[in-house]
Amino acid sequence: MERLKTTLCGIPLDNPVIPASGTFGYGEEFAAIYDINCLGTFSFKGTTAQPRFGNPTPRIAECTAGMLNAVGLQNPGVEAVIGEILPRMKTYFHKPVMANVSGFSVEEYAGACEKLGREPQIGWLEVNVSCPNVHGGGMSFGTDPKAAAQVVAAVRRVTNKPLIIKLTPNVTDITEIARACEAAGADGISLINTLLGMRIDPVRRRPVLQRGMGGFSGPAVFPVALRMVWQVYEAVKIPVVGMGGIASAEDVIEMMLAGACAVEVGSENLVRPTVCKDIIEELPAVMDRLGIEKLEDIIGGAHEWEKM
């Protein structure tokens, strides 16, 4: 449907709805439920240079209006993704796909992105800078503008694919990080990743997650995500992808009014596996009710309020 179309870093999308990395695997399980080619695209499971088993269990916990996870980037590694998973993906997904990439050093990021960037199926590289910098004492790359910029610059040198940098919300000023990424060569920004949280089992008197803390996501984080998308849209000139607690067509409209040109749906996929399909099907009726002819026309539209 023409009125749902948008563009992300120069690549057209049939609609702005994108399942977020870590909640959609490589799409294969969901393709058994519905035709995932109805999606704008999807961001596949976070991929690292080497295979990772992930963190010890328990590493998932439900909580009010959301969930905690400390999965630990479990994935088969970049070589297996290229050699085994992407060829299989061609049989059930026929659009450019977004590759989410993580690393524990600048060199790891660059190496994985260079390899994935050669693959014709990959439309965008979503670079997750929420990983700990092993050369910086474990601090996340995405909490320091200089460290984030180093990752972006290194990846920019090895690929011409559009680079979308996924930012952590666990910072004092999200716009400072976003500007640093833009200056280093990023083509887009996606936000937010999970907020740091925890739960404690009062019976056992210990944290619910084996690692103590984990990433908090779900509907409860939506206002925080919306605020940060709003701020970053005003701070940079490159496209913004909004995510964090999106669960309805109305949420998509809000995110786009705040400045997102596309949105990613995360935790809700685990609760309602058809949520992305449902949102796409519900969008036209919501647009009619709100007097919206084309989604592209409303990107950043709420910022006009400040000029009144």
Per-residue pLDDT tens over the stretch 190-200: 999 999 999 99
Asked about 131 being catalytic, the answer comes back as yes
User: Looking at domain 2-307, which CATH architecture does it have?
Assistant: Alpha-Beta Barrel (3.20)
Per-residue pLDDT tens over the stretch 217-265: 999 999 999 999 999 999 999 999 999 999 999 999 999 999 999 999 9
pLDDT > 90 fraction of the chain, expressed in percent and rounded: 90
Indicate if the pLDDT at residue 159 is higher than 70.
yes
Average pLDDT, the chain: 95
d(C-alpha 212, C-alpha 204), whole Å? 13
| Neighbour-count burial of 291, counting CB atoms closer than 10 A to its CB (0-12 exposed, 13-18 middle, 19+ buried) | exposed
Catalytic residue, chosen from 9, 113, 131, 261, is 131
According to the model, what pLDDT value does residue 72 have? Answer: 86
Per-residue pLDDT tens over the stretch 98-121: 999 999 999 999 999 999 999 999
